[in-house]
Amino acid sequence: MKRIIIVLSLLACISADACSQWYVKQYNVQDISLLNEQQLEESLRNTRNNVYYSLITTGVGGVVVLLAILLPYEETEESTFIEQLLGEKNVNNLYIAGGVAIAAGGIVAAITYLARMGTIRSELEDPFSSSGSFSLEPAIFIERSSNNILPGLTMTFRF
């Protein structure tokens, strides 16, 4: 149970890091609404390609697991020292674990890119927020002098 919690926590951290503020890294803007239509369409194309690549990665992981189950490893005279040391059963388990890890990484990436695609599409459909709108969102601020992380709120008025 501890292992499952640790793995899920790591996957959540990786997903949050991959999804958070991609537009800051790629276009050096602080808000996605500052991107023009051409940049949004380019981002949508790139994100769609990344979704396909992550689904292919998930499939490759599944194929590795299936091959490890259907065609179990058998020790031969050409086996390496590590394979001989681990034994047939542990090498098969290692292949299965590797395939599961590859598939899990592909699933996390696919979820991240699908969320990003939804954000880009919603921004393309409604590039300008309605006038008179108000938003109150949680935020994290970093104090420059001591590098303390402080929770806070951001308020945005559009008129």
C-beta neighbour count of 133 within 10 angstroms: 10
Residues 111-158 pLDDT 10s: 999 999 998 898 888 755 555 667 778 887 777 788 788 888 888 776
In-domain check, residue 137: no
Give residue 37's pLDDT: 85
Would you say residue 147 lies in a domain?
no
Q: Which domain holds residue 81?
A: 2-127
Is the separation of the CB atoms in 46 and 120 below 8 Å?
Answer: no
Task: Report the number of distinct structural domains present in the chain.
Answer: 1
pLDDT of residue 139: 80
Question: Model pTM?
Answer: 0.62
- 42: amino acid identity, one letter: E
Domain assignment present for residue 113? The answer is: yes
